[in-house]
Structure 1
Amino acid sequence: MAQNNVVASIGLPMKRRADDALTYAAPEVRRKISLAPPPLPKQTFKPEPALDAAEFDHILNIIGKVAVVFERNPSTFSKLGEEALRDNILVHLNGHYESATGETFNAAGKTDILIRSGEKNVFIGECKFWHGQKGYMETIDQLLSYLTWRDTKAAVIIFNRNKNFSEVLSTIREITEKHQNFKRALPPSEETSFRYIFRQNGDESRELHLAVLAFDIPTP
């Protein structure tokens, strides 16, 4: 690397449970993958570990499949609050990862979902019911306040209840790019899932991957 003070990210293989739960796991990502980082030239700094794209996708896939169960069973889940819905997601994340926790202190507050590898945070998620544009933008601000400079993968998980879901999705698409930390949009993986590159608070050069997942849980 040209400069010693350049901070790099290397792929961080995640340790999944040996008894990796089959429920909600996509077959193509159920296997345990361990990737060695490429050889690095001699340097005076240690690159920061970062969650690789495949593991990030796997985590989002688990969350998505659990939330689809919420959508398909409104009589069971419609009366649950944010914490109870979050706890259901955590149950299944813990079936795949040994270090998924909720209500964990990090930076300026307590995160809803935190996954660690050793002492490193590799994923942080925030769950919220949809309360309009203002509430959504405040949720992004809240999540960003929980991230340290070393955190580069995060997600906002939106639960919609008895609002026009198509309008909610349209609003997410329109206003996310107006956030002051927004840098660029990435191709969406699904109709209700969005991907963005944001900058860290206070550092224009430090980028993070932000996913926004929206789910409709109407009252029956």
Structure 2
Amino acid sequence: MAEVFNSLVQRQRPLSFVLRRRTEESGLLGRLARITSLSDLEKFEADLAGALEALRPTPPTLGAARTASRGARRWRRVDEHNGVEVIRHYIAVQADGDLDLVATWPDRADDDLEPVDASARAEYDACEKPGLAELERLRIAEETWALGTPDPPTDAEVTWALYTFVELSRDEERAISAGEREIQSIFTERIRLANQILERIGTQLADYFDTELPQWFTELIADRRDELTAREGVTATLAFPSSWPMPIPKLVTGQPPGGTEPAIGEEPLAEGTNVGFAHRSRLDEATFADVQRVIRLWANSVERYPATFSKIGEDPLSDVLTAALNSSLPGAQREVYSRTGKSDIFIYANTLDAGSGPERVFICEAKIAKDDGTVTRALDPQLFSYLNTHDTAAVLLLFVKQKKFDAAVRERLAALRTVAGFIREEPGPSGWPIFEYEVDGRAVHVCIATVHTPPGKADQ
């Protein structure tokens, strides 16, 4: 059985901590953090009251009491050298509601609410050299109340009960049987104090769900609304020349590289036999060039507001870029560019051509380029791990916060040339270099896009 209402519970299971943990485990905070639009935020706010009510537990309460089974005989120490044989006489009190909360302490209660072992602990702490007798009295006080299943079993509706006891020697039992002593008042007082603790738990529950929790979410929603409003405002500042529309991305297909000779151990095919080859989809080179130009225009807009964008992390930066890429498609009825990871953007072949497979034909990985290790890991293994086509177009978008932009870019590019599989580099249509790598037999062309986002004076 679990001991309750004592100082150990007071120290280790304060009710405010348990309620906050339950809120975190409910998933509501995660849902709020994943919201990326003001419309979704409004829906979350509209549904919040019902979600919080569903999270609200039933306050624990006590019901009827009855006698319970007796404990085994034990030796109760009177002092360091003497003791007496006793037996514990239990009563069980029906417990209802959220019983996990019985084993908490209402830490917002008044100071006059004390654990059941407060007096014994004060006596123990006051002893200069507490002995075994003081330690045993403290332990008995700590065990005053415990939560467990009814023993002996009762009707099926009563599944849990709170237990308390008194220890009686044989002489004490005789005195009670003869009417010379009574213990009813002991149990009555304990039940009164237990109800008082549970009432304080109920009061704190009501305060948490009626006031504290709604206020906390109101502040979180306001902060999230401010963040999303600023982010959508940033997106609104990004404009593309109307004279330069971007064509809808296209795919090209081709045979897998290599000759058509049969593999070793295979019989040559008979003359005239039709041979079918699996064709792999890849992003059209012209489309890849267009994508680079769009990102360059987007990057130019970003660099006009460095202080604003320096405060935004990789994930929201990728959100903004994804929106910008999709908005640059004339008449597109669907999102060609999609987010499926933390800071990555993909084009899937089957998004452009329903007859193609789900291969990723374009990858953009955004990263704050704080050092060489960060950018090389962003390429390998992170970007390379996404590959599933033979010829993949990719952009490694690096946000450079260092004041000395050119020097930092030179260092990052030099580090990327050391990544295994590097073959060559060539200038790209946007002014950024394109690095070519061979990865597991695949040709990967990576545009290394660098954007300068130094912090403003107030952020330095």
Asked whether the two chains share a fold, i.e. TM above 0.5, the reply is: yes
What do you get for the CA RMSD once the two structures are aligned? 2.9
Secondary structure at the counterpart of residue 317 of structure 2: helix
Q: Who is 1:8 aligned against?
A: none
Q: Who is 2:339 aligned against?
A: 102
Contact 2:298–2:321 (8 Å) recurs in 1? yes
Q: Who is 1:218 aligned against?
A: 454
Q: Who is 1:93 aligned against?
A: 325
Change (3 A) 1:186 1:29: farther
TM-score normalized by structure 2?
A: 0.37
Out of 230, 246, 259, the position equivalent to 1:30 is: 246
Query: Matched residues in 2 for 1:149 and 1:36: separation?
Result: 12
Contact 1:29–1:58 (8 Å) recurs in 2? no
Q: Does 1:128 align with 2:364?
A: no
Query: Matched residues in 1 for 2:243 and 2:413: separation?
Result: 30
Secondary structure at the counterpart of residue 198 of structure 1: strand
Q: Who is 1:165 aligned against?
A: 405
Contact 2:425–2:434 (8 Å) recurs in 1? yes
Query: Matched residues in 1 for 2:447 and 2:411: separation?
Result: 15
Change (3 A) 1:194 1:155: same
Counterparts of 1:5-20 in structure 2, within 5 Å, are: none
Secondary structure at the counterpart of residue 451 of structure 2: strand
* Structure 1 residues 152-198: Cα deviation after superposition (integer angstroms, max 9, x where no partner): 1111100011342111221133232221111111224455x110111
Contact 2:281–2:389 (8 Å) recurs in 1? no
Change (3 A) 1:56 1:219: same
Contact 2:250–2:287 (8 Å) recurs in 1? no
Counterparts of 1:176-195 in structure 2, within 5 Å, are: 176-191=416-431, 193-195=432-434
Contact 2:343–2:366 (8 Å) recurs in 1? no
Q: CA deviation at 1:122?
A: 1.7
Q: CA deviation at 1:73?
A: 1.1
Percent of pairs with identical residues: 27
- How many residues of Structure 1 are paired with residues of Structure 2 in the alignment? 189
Out of 313, 335, 339, the position equivalent to 1:81 is: 313
Out of 416, 441, 445, the position equivalent to 1:209 is: 445
Secondary structure at the counterpart of residue 454 of structure 2: coil
Contact 1:159–1:215 (8 Å) recurs in 2? yes
Change (3 A) 1:168 1:189: farther
Task: Name structure 2 gaps, 5 residues minimum.
Answer: 1-237, 255-273, 351-357
Change (3 A) 1:89 1:134: same
* Structure 1 residues 102-145: Cα deviation after superposition (integer angstroms, max 9, x where no partner): 134xxxxx661011231332211110001211211111111111
| Structure that is richer in helix per residue | 2
TM-score normalized by structure 1?
A: 0.74
Task: Name structure 1 gaps, 5 residues minimum.
Answer: 1-21, 105-109
Q: CA deviation at 1:76?
A: 2.7
Contact 2:338–2:345 (8 Å) recurs in 1? yes
Contact 2:401–2:452 (8 Å) recurs in 1? yes
Question: Which is greater in Rg?
Answer: 2
Change (3 A) 1:176 1:75: closer
Change (3 A) 1:154 1:33: closer
Q: CA deviation at 1:151?
A: 5.5
Query: Matched residues in 2 for 1:126 and 1:134: separation?
Result: 15
Query: Matched residues in 1 for 2:449 and 2:373: separation?
Result: 17
Query: Matched residues in 1 for 2:347 and 2:251: separation?
Result: 19
Q: Who is 1:47 aligned against?
A: 279
Q: Does 1:113 align with 2:349?
A: no
Matched residue type, 1:83: D
Deviates more, 1:120-129 or 1:42-51: 42-51
Matched residue type, 1:56: F
Query: Matched residues in 2 for 1:149 and 1:37: separation?
Result: 11
Contact 2:251–2:284 (8 Å) recurs in 1? no
